[in-house]
Amino acid sequence: MSPAAFSRISIIVSLILVSAALHAGDPSSKAAGIAADILPPDLAKKLADRTAEPTQSGEITPAFVVDPSWPKTLPNQWIMGQVGGISVDQNDNIWVLHRPRSLSATAVGALGVAGVNSEGKPVDGLGNLRTVAGQNAVCCIPAPSVLKFDANGNLLDSWGGSSDPGFLESRCRADQGCVWPGREHGIFVDHSQFVYISGNGTQGTGRDGNGEVPWSATHGNDSHVLKFSAEGEFIYQIGYAGLPGPNNEDTNGGPNDTPQPFLAADMSVDPKTNRLYIADGYGNSRVLIVNAASGQYIGHFGAYGQNPVELEPKDPSSWAEEWRAGNTKPRFFRSPVHCATVSLDGLLYVCDRSNNRIQVFNLQEVGKPCLNPDAKAGDCGFVRDIEVAPETIGQTGGSAALSADKEQSCLFAADLWNGMFHIIERPTGKTIHHIGRTGRQVGEFTWLHSLAADSHGNIYSGEVETGQRVQRFVRYGATGCNSTGT
């Protein structure tokens, strides 16, 4: 083995040992002491116990080291597909929503026969040809759609979706008002341990929704949001599945006079009011506000707090074209409206991903009938725009998470297009650092789709398309952001 290869292996082993120390509950000073013994000096120094991590320009920001040992290997030869959503509950358990139907034929060689195709040949649940004897390989099979991990990366629970045997037949049945989404997208676990799930599958998207293979959905478009208990017991559904298209002004078209979403992306619940805010989403261009206990409609709004919602033009220019022309404040959300994240101080952060921005709203004021044609701060509950890599062609402000300090002074924004997450000083909206780059190595991102943070400031990320993984970034140094420097 070459010295360089040995050095790389040593660093990986060292990081795993540091991860083990952190997982064991060591305080940061003890973990830093272990790091000093086994890591290269520059990396050990980074992990030292200190209160601030100034950047070259003087800003203070949390720093992160990727944990290559998280999560632990799944049991039962399970693997994950694309990770649509990720959420951290109040006990610092990490909930992952992935897409079993996104896995390739070579990835799921251990699947047995689930039916036959149009030619009468045996296929697995994803439609891959299988021998009469069953599986084609020793490994692997798709895990259930919902995976719950503890902070150490241990799998605590799993349920949901077509890859969970019997779930759709007994626990989420259409005749009981529960339709599992064609393409799993968003997940949120609220303060009472209820689990909300959204989907953005559309009719005719192959494994996601045309009914041609055993596991594919048959309802058409995902136009609904589901609520479950932490154990996967169905509670209610907002909206009817299978609507032909969006309707931004619908307020009571769903079951029991609930609103009707369309290709909803994500959601969060304000624990102070128990209001559920839905980023609605890939079809509609709005945020829905409902009573989380009942799903009943409360309000809705579009960009700059406007209600009725101002729609994207039928033949829109791209964000890049508008930005270069100096139009940096489009009056509409450009699909998708990708997140709705609540802060402790009563603000809502809405990811307008294709407009490269996150819009901020006052929870007490937004959602009422209102017009704000001049995009004025203070009107209709609108507070401010936060630009996220605005020089990029699009798709930068995709997910928002908040830091663990009392003030939640950092906003972390997932940038799908540039393969990184940005660290933004929340009070000023100033981007002061970023983590990662496009790539497939540990700590890099391929189609970064979702972010979540735990109570210690650690960041969890999920990737879609060919990324198909979750990663954990351990925080060290500062807990918050300060652009005034030291």
CA angle 423, 263, 375 (to 5 degrees): 55
What pLDDT score does 36 carry?
42
Strands 430-435 and 420-425: antiparallel
d(CA 393, CA 382): 25
Side chain identity at residue 247, one-letter code: N
- Of the candidates 440, 442, 437, 444, the one whose C-alpha atom is nearest the C-alpha of residue 67 is 442
d(CA 372, CA 196): 31
On the question of a cis peptide bond just before residue 182, with omega within 30 degrees of 0, the verdict is: no
Query: Of residues 198 and 25, which shows the higher confidence score?
Result: 198
For residues 145-171, give the mean pLDDT.
97
* Burial class of residue 112, CB neighbours in 10 A (0-12, 13-18, 19+): middle
Instruction: Please give the span between the terminal C-alpha atoms of the chain, in angstroms, as a whole number.
Output: 45
On the question of a cis peptide bond just before residue 40, with omega within 30 degrees of 0, the verdict is: no
On the question of a cis peptide bond just before residue 336, with omega within 30 degrees of 0, the verdict is: yes
d(CA 25, CA 17): 13
Side chain identity at residue 25, one-letter code: G
Task: List pLDDT tens digits, range 324-378.
Answer: 899 899 999 999 999 999 999 999 999 999 999 999 999 999 999 999 999 999 9
Strands 264-270 and 470-482: unpaired
What pLDDT score does 271 carry?
98
Residue 204 has pLDDT above 80, yes or no: no
Cβ-based neighbour number of residue 5 at 10 Å: 9
Mean pLDDT score across all residues of the chain: 89
Task: Provide, rounded to the nearest whole percent, the portion of the chain with pLDDT above 70.
Answer: 86
On the question of a cis peptide bond just before residue 140, with omega within 30 degrees of 0, the verdict is: yes
pTM of the predicted structure, to 2 decimals: 0.91
Residue 39 has pLDDT above 50, yes or no: no
Order of all β-strands in the sheet with 399-402:
399-402, 410-415, 420-425, 430-435
What pLDDT score does 47 carry?
56
Do 265 and 284 form a contact (C-beta atoms < 8 A)? Answer: no
d(CA 433, CA 420): 10
Report the sign of the C-alpha dihedral through residues 171, 177, 183, 189, in that order.
negative
d(CA 215, CA 212): 9
Residue 206 has pLDDT above 60, yes or no: no
Contacts of 447 (CB under 8 A, 6+ apart): 416, 463, 464, 465, 466, 467
What pLDDT score does 42 carry?
59
Give the pLDDT band (50/70/90) at residue 477.
Answer: confident
Residue 461 has pLDDT above 80, yes or no: yes
- Of the candidates 243, 207, 365, the one whose C-alpha atom is nearest the C-alpha of residue 301 is 365
Query: What are the distances in angstroms from CA 274 to CA 94, 122, 226?
Result: 21, 48, 16
What pLDDT score does 20 carry?
44
For residues 217-224, give the mean pLDDT.
94
What pLDDT score does 448 carry?
98
E-strand stretches of 20-149 = 60-66, 78-79, 82-88, 94-99, 115-116, 122-123, 141-142, 146-149
CA angle 170, 172, 174 (to 5 degrees): 105
What pLDDT score does 205 carry?
60
d(CA 185, CA 337): 13
* Burial class of residue 106, CB neighbours in 10 A (0-12, 13-18, 19+): exposed
* Burial class of residue 123, CB neighbours in 10 A (0-12, 13-18, 19+): buried
What pLDDT score does 166 carry?
96
Side chain identity at residue 356, one-letter code: N
Structure tokens at 165: 């045997």
Residue 168, φ and ψ in degrees, nearest 5: -75, -20
From the CA atom positions of the chain, what is the Rg in Å?
22
CA angle 58, 439, 41 (to 5 degrees): 50
Task: List pLDDT tens digits, range 52-95.
Answer: 456 666 788 999 999 999 999 999 999 999 999 999 999 999 99
Look-up: residue for tokens 């195709």? 117
Instruction: Return the DSSP state at 367.
Output: T
What pLDDT score does 30 carry?
42
What pLDDT score does 50 carry?
41
Helix axes 28-38, 3-23, angle to 10 degrees: 160
For residues 417-440, give the mean pLDDT.
95
Residue 486 has pLDDT above 70, yes or no: no
What pLDDT score does 143 carry?
98
Task: List pLDDT tens digits, range 291-326.
Answer: 999 999 999 999 999 999 999 888 888 898 988 899
Order of all β-strands in the sheet with 195-199:
184-189, 195-199, 225-228, 234-238
Do 90 and 453 form a contact (C-beta atoms < 8 A)? Answer: no
